Each structure stands twice: as structure tokens, then as C-alpha cells.
Structure 1
């Protein structure tokens, strides 16, 4: 399930891409399929190991172009181990809401992005997230959980402040918001409740089949209850002084 729309965030062969806070690697795998040179960075050694195992399997099965490269590495979003301007593209999907020092992470994103490069940032959408927080303390008050709820304009303005220019925005995953509301109602850690199991089956069916009716429904509902906000931003080109 991709949150970033690769039609609005073009990734081509040879593109140097950082998937910051890659998690299980969903965006890493798509960029790898498109021929990019991907670094999948996460603080969790377990997540990095899982991503590297899947990348090896994808390469073995020929799911990426021969010149595509990808590797998972463990690292800190607040002190990225890369030189200035290293990447053409950066994805930070559902990461910033976990970081107390989110300004430092935004600054690092802008630093390692090359002039003219693009970044996609996604965070939970304010209204669906507020519902989750009101229904369940356990939803967010866990180690490594969500530490804040963003307003879209606030997030945009803070990313502008570190030197990025807005280039587009949309909402995503409206059908997933009720699933998390259900989980918060019945117990966020209860994977076996009949209601959430049934809804999860619906989501899996939708992701596998992508029927027209659910695609239209989600498109209509995204601006209202989309689970995620997606922002696309660009780092301005460096202007050389005449002479």
C-alpha cells in the first residue's frame, strides 16, 4: 500500500532516493522496481534486516532493472550519515509524527536533498488522528508512538522554513481511517476482534483487487477522512551570481 503517488513524485532509473524511516519498505520496493538507487534508512535493525531480505529476493526474481541498486541501512533521522545534496528524491512517510525533535529531521532532509530535488512527506491527517487519540490512549502513548498531530498548513510552513518549496498535496487512505477507529474502540492491540478482522479482510481484498467501486469511494472520501496527508516539496536550484 503506497501513500506516495509516484505519478506526482516521478522516480526514474538512476535516481538517487532516500526512503527515510523506511519501515517494512513499501516505498523502497516501488522505487527499486523503477530502477532507482535506493537507500532505505530506519532506526530499527529488525526493519532494516527485513527490507534487505526482500530486496535480495526481488533482485533474484528479476523484479528490478539490472542497474537498479537498493540497500537498507540503520541510521538516525536527526543526524543523517550523508553529505549535503546526496539525493535526488527523499521520501519521509509516516515518520515525523514519531520524532520529538521533528525540526531537526526536517533540517536534515533539506540538507541531504540536492538543489532541484524533490521530497515527499506524509503524516497522519488531523481529523482522523484526533478521533483515534480521543478513542484510545493506547493508540499513541506507547514507546515510539505518535507524539503530535499536525495541521497541514503548519507542516507546510515548517518545511518551507527549512528551505523547501511546496509543489503539491493530497490526502490518502480514507478507507483505512474507520479501520483504526474500530481498533481504538475494541482495543488497539487486539488483532483477533471479529469487527477488525472483518474490516482487515475488506482492506486486503481492496488492495489485491482494486475494484472500481472502492477506488471511486476512496477518491471521494480522501479529502474528508483521508488517513494521511501527503506533501510534495522541491529544493530550489542554486542561483549562481553573474560574473
Structure 2
């Protein structure tokens, strides 16, 4: 289930890319399939071990173009262990809402992006997220949970103040917002609730089978209640950062 549109990001084979806060690796795997040289970065060593194993399996199964490379790196988003301008593309998907010092994290990802390179930032969208917070404290008030709700304007302002230029925005996962509203209403850990189970089956059907009806529904719902905001940004050749 991808949040970032890699065509809008401008990803091309052979480019060096960073998946910042990669989690289980969903975006890293897709970039690898597209022939990029990928670094999957996270602070969770267990998650990274699983990502590394799947990178190896993908290569052995011939699922990636010849010459593409992928590796993992453990570390802190506030002090990235990479050189200035090292990456052509950077993806930070659903990570900034967890980071207390998000301004430093954004400045760091800008630093490691080459001049002229592009960045995709994704966070939970304000309205669906606000509903979740209203319905359930347990949804966000957990160790490592969401600590803020971004408006579009706030995230754009923070990205531009770090030296990026907005090129476009999108919204994703419109079908998923109602699922989380249900979960928050019946209990975020109550996976056995009949309504939550039924809607979960719908989402699995969407992801696995991609039926035309649900593809059309997603296109209608994404701009209205899409659970994720996605910003597409470019680092200019002169950033203007003081």
C-alpha cells in the first residue's frame, strides 16, 4: 500500500534514494523494484532486519533490475549519517508526526538531498486525524505515537522554511480513513469487533485484488477524506537557507 506517487517524485533507475523512517519497507521495496539504489533508514533494528531480508529475497527472485542496489542503515533522523547532497530523492512517509523536533528532521533530510533533487513528505491529514484523536485517546497517546496533527499549511511552511520548494500535493488512502474511525470508536485494539473485521476484509480485498469499483471509490474519496497528505517538493540549486 503505497502513499507516494513515484512518477510525481521523478524517480528514475540508477538514482540514489533514501527512505527515511522506512518502517517495514513498503516504499523502499517499490523504489528498489524501479531500479533505484536504495537506503532504507530507521531506528528500529528489528524492522531493518526484516527489510534487509526482503531486499535479498527480491534480488534472488529477479524482481529488481540488474545493477540496482539496496541496503539498510540504523540511526537517528535528527543526525543523519550521510553526506550533504548524497541522495537524488528522499521519502519521509508517516514519520514526522512521531518526531518531537520535526524542524531538525526536515532540515536534515534537506541537507542530504542534492540540489535539484526531490522530496516526498507524507503525514496523516488534519481532518481524518482530528476525528481519530477526538474518538480515542489510545489511538495516539502511546509510546512512540503521534504527537501532532499537521495542517497542510503548517507542513508546507516548515518544508519551505528549510529550503524546499513545493511542486505539488496529493491525498491518499480515502478508503482507510473510515476504518480508523471505526477502530477508534470501538477500541483501537478491538480487532474482533464485527464492524472492524468487516471493513478490514474490504481493505484487504482492495489491496490484494484492486477491484475497479474500489479503485473508483478511492479516486473519489482521496481528495475528500484521504487519510494521508503527500507533499512533493524540490530542493533548488540555491536553497536560500541561512
Tell me which interval the TM-score lies in, with the shorter structure as reference length.
over 0.9
Once the two structures are TM-superposed, the CA of residue 186 in structure 1 deviates from its matched residue by: 1.2
Q: Is 1:146–2:146 an aligned residue pair? A: yes
Quote the Cα distance in structure 2 between the aligned partners of 1:39 and 1:228: 23
In 1, Cα distance between equivalents of 2:128 and 2:97: 14
Cα root mean square deviation, aligned: 1.0
TM-score normalised by L of structure 2: 0.97
Q: Paired residue for 1:173?
A: 173
What's the counterpart of residue 45 of structure 1? Answer: 45
| Unpaired runs of at least 5, structure 2 | none
Instruction: Could you list the structure 1 runs, at least 4 aligned residues long, displaced by more than 4 angstroms after superposition.
Output: none
Structure 1 residues not aligned, in runs of 5+? none
Asked if 1 retains the 8 angstrom alpha-carbon contact of 2:10 and 2:118, the reply is no
Post-superposition Cα deviations, 1:68-96, rounded to whole Å, max 9, x if no partner, equal 10111111100000010000000000000
Give yes or no for the alignment of 1:162 onto 2:171: no
| 1:35-93 CA-partner distances (Å, limit 9, x unpaired) | 10100001111110110011111111010012010111111100000010000000000
Distance in 1 (alpha carbons) for counterparts of 2:50 and 2:170: 30
Is residue 135–residue 185 contact of structure 2 (8 Å, CA) maintained in 1?
Answer: yes
Counterpart in the other structure of 2:35: 35
- Report the CA distance between 1:10 and its aligned residue: 2.4
1:91-139 Cα shifts (integer Å, max 9, x gaps): 0000000000000000001100000000000000000000000000000
Query: Which residue is equivalent to 2:235?
Result: 235
Secondary structure of the equivalent of 1:7? helix
> C-alpha distance in 1, partners of 2:64/2:82?
25
- Of 112-121 and 3-12, deviating more is 3-12
Q: Residue in 2 aligned with 1:135? A: 135
CA distance in 2: counterparts of 1:25 and 1:194, whole angstroms: 30
Q: 2:170 and 2:11 mapped to 1: Cα distance? A: 18
